Amino acid sequence: MGRRFLVLSDLHLCDVEDHADDWMAYKSSRFVFDKEVAALLRRFTEDAESDGDERVLVFNGDLVDFDLVATCPEPAPWPVTRSERRRGLNATEEKSAWKLERVLADHPLFVESLTRFLLAGHRLIYVLGNHDQEFHFPKVRSTLISALQAEASKLNETLKDDCIRFEPWFYLEPGEVYIEHGQQYDHYTSFRHLLDPTVQISGEERIALPMGNLSNRYLMTKMGFFNPFASDYILSAFAYFWHWLSHYAFSRRSLAFVWFWGSLVVMGKLLRIRKRLLKKHVDQDKLLGEVADRFGMEPATAQALQKLQQVPITSRFFRIVREFWIDRVIFMIFWGGGTIALALVPIPLWIKLMVPLTSFPLLLFIYEKAIEGESIFTIESRLPQVARSIGALVPVQVVAFGHSHVPRLIPLSRDLVFVDTGTWAPITEADPHKLAPGYRNYLELRFDDEKELTLRFDAWMLPDPKPARSKSA
């Protein structure tokens, strides 16, 4: 008897919202994929009885996107601040459990298909990502299990206690596969203490959200004509102007104010979390030892795996300043002040004109090149390198990551394959109503008794074939 894995990542389930003007179109009902997931699970298990292979479903992070749920219950069973009502609930245990209930209520078919999968005797491994780190809380985990148990009760069945396993860092089958979400190799989204990711703020235990999550919660979701799952918010100055003219100029919505105020909110929360993290003591050796025991590895191996992770941006103050363009604003003030100062000095007119038009832009160019660092695209090139390092530490044939939303399969050696499992989130083309082809990705692995690997990496949604052209007479 062998073992088969179905690995999915970055589904980003959230509550559903439909707006006539395509505001937050990525949350609209037209992009709900519950039927597709149900069909994929049925296909994955259709031969289970005849072949006898164990079936294991792995959600490799960001199954649920807690950052996108911005609503509040009415009336709320706990205190809710004005800021939470405007921007979404804090990442506490009780409030995150409510968010999960809200999301699952909007995806009943997903809950049903997952329940049927588990009732058939198969297993689920849930590896936490950066957008669903709230599953660290026991009540959030029990909320998911309770929803599945309730669905099972409708079928007069009961789920087994051990059919779901949560992993805060990675999942490992020695000799077979290593599966990790991948946010720890991205300094925008890495957690300082992944195995103990909370801090105390205002008397509440909250997830110590990294910069990427905070930006999504308090900035990107308020600029709803951008897609947080893609990089369409990185534009040229002219493109930003055109975006504003197309979506904001003739509406009551604001782009510049939302960006400015949202950036201040994110930076303030980021610095507040950083302050709490610096005061927090975590027994890393104990936590790493528990991970090592769970997977039967040496503690030194767990420590070596942790050393591969990136230092969070919360530990690099200059990078925070740069990401929010504060350094550019300071330079622009210097540029404007210098231009005014030159205008008041009794020097030739050509100097007054040429210095602001040539020297200041040259200084800005030199500065940008000198301190050019990581970007949101750095993670794409980093993950294959990390996978190679992991393959040198643990004996596996496949290293699978998610997080980047870029579907890739790269052979790293004759005995090691790296797979980036893409995303199911709505990545669109120029038409916001049309999904880009090649996504809704899934990885299938089969290991027989001799650990021989059969691998399939595919996309559930592929473009329709072009109709054949008829030859004219």
pLDDT beyond 50 at 440: yes
Residue 194 has pLDDT above 90, yes or no: yes
CB 89 within 8 A of CB 99: yes
How much is the average pLDDT of 400-425? Answer: 96
Does residue 465 carry a pLDDT above 80? no
| Structure confidence at residue 148 (pLDDT) | 97
Phi, psi of 223, deg, nearest 5:
-115, 65
CA–CA separation, 183 and 212 (whole Å): 10
Q: For residues 249 and 332, give the distance between their C-alpha atoms in angstroms, rounded to a whole number.
A: 25
The predicted pLDDT at position 16 comes to 95
pTM of the model: 0.88
Assign 396 to helix, strand or coil: coil
pLDDT: which is higher, 161 or 442: 442
Least confident of 37-51, 134-148, 325-339: 325-339
| Greater pLDDT, 261 or 239 | 261
Q: How confident is the model at residue 124 (pLDDT cuts 50, 70, 90)?
A: very high
Per-domain residue ranges for the chain? 3-319+376-459, 325-370
Which whole number is the average pLDDT over 301-306?
97
* pLDDT bracket for residue 127 (50, 70, 90): very high
Which phi-psi region, left, alpha or beta, contains residue 81 (left: φ > 0; alpha: ψ -120 to 50)? Answer: beta
353 has pLDDT over 80 = yes
Residues 267-294, mean pLDDT to the nearest whole number: 91
Q: Which of 103-117, 119-133, 447-461 has the lowest average pLDDT?
A: 447-461
Residue 471 has pLDDT above 70, yes or no: no
Look at residue 41 and tell me whether its pLDDT is greater than 60: yes
Kindly tell me if the per-residue pLDDT of 132 is higher than 50. Answer: yes
Query: Taking the CA of residue 108 as centre, how many other CA atoms within 13 Å lie in the half-sphere pointing to its CB?
Result: 4
Residue % of the chain over a pLDDT of 90: 58
Neighbours of 126 (CB within 10 A): 22
Distance, in Å, from the CA atom of 131 to the CA atom of 425, rounded to the nearest integer, reads 13
CB proximity list for 78: less than 8 A, separation 6 or greater: 94, 95
Higher pLDDT, 41 or 263: 41
How would residue 307 be classed by pLDDT, with cut points 50, 70 and 90?
very high
pLDDT at 470: 44
Q: pLDDT over 70 for what percent of the chain?
A: 92
Q: Which pair of tokens denotes residue 144?
A: 């998911």
Residue 419 phi/psi, 5-degree rounding, is -130, 130
Query: For the chain, what percentages of helix, strand and coil (3-state, to nearest 5) are there?
Result: 45, 15, 40
60-110 confidence digits (pLDDT tens)? 999 999 999 999 999 999 999 988 998 899 999 999 999 999 999 999 999
pLDDT at 468 over 50: no
Mean pLDDT of 346-355: 84
Query: How much is the mean pLDDT over the chain?
Result: 89
Q: Taking 60 as the threshold, does the pLDDT of residue 168 lie above it? A: yes
CB burial of residue 244 (10 Å; 0-12, 13-18, 19+): middle
Relative orientation angle of helices 326-344 and 360-370, to the nearest 10 degrees: 160
* Confidence grade of residue 376 (pLDDT, cut at 50, 70, 90): low
- Rounded to an integer, what distance in angstroms lies between the CA atom of residue 14 and that of residue 284? 33
- Give the span between the Cα atoms of 441 and 406, in whole angstroms: 10
For 345, residues 6+ apart whose C-beta sits below 8 A from its C-beta are: 352
One-letter identity of residue 306: Q
If DSSP codes are grouped into helix, strand and coil, which group holds residue 56? strand
Calpha distance 27→88 (Å, rounded): 15
CA gap 241, 200 in Å, rounded: 41
Is-contact 91 207, C-beta < 8 A? yes
pLDDT tens string 312-341: 887 666 666 666 667 777 878 888 888 888
d(CA 368, CA 328): 9
> Are 176 and 302 a contacting pair, CB within 8 Å?
no
The pLDDT-based confidence of 472 (bands split at 50, 70, 90) is very low
The answer on pLDDT for 473 being more than 50 is no
Average pLDDT value for residue range 109-137? 97
Residue 229 has pLDDT above 90, yes or no: no
- pLDDT over 80 at 461, yes or no: no
DSSP states of 288-351? HHHHHHHHT--HHHHHHHHHTSPPPGGG-HHHHHHHTTHHHHHHHHHHHHHHHHHHHS-S-HHH
Radius of gyration for the alpha carbons in the chain, expressed in angstroms and rounded: 25
pLDDT score, position 374: 67
Residue 75 is classified by DSSP as S
**pLDDT at position 260, please?**
79
Residues paired with residue 179 on neighbouring β-strands, in sequence order: 171, 400
For the record, the structure tokens of 87 come out as: 């921007």
What b/e string do you get for 151-189 counting C-beta neighbours within 10 Å, with b at 16 or more? bbeeeeeebeeebbebbbbbbbbeebbbbbbbbbbbbbb
pLDDT-derived band at 433 (thresholds 50, 70, 90) equals confident
- Of 322, 339, 407, 410, nearest to 399 by C-alpha is 410
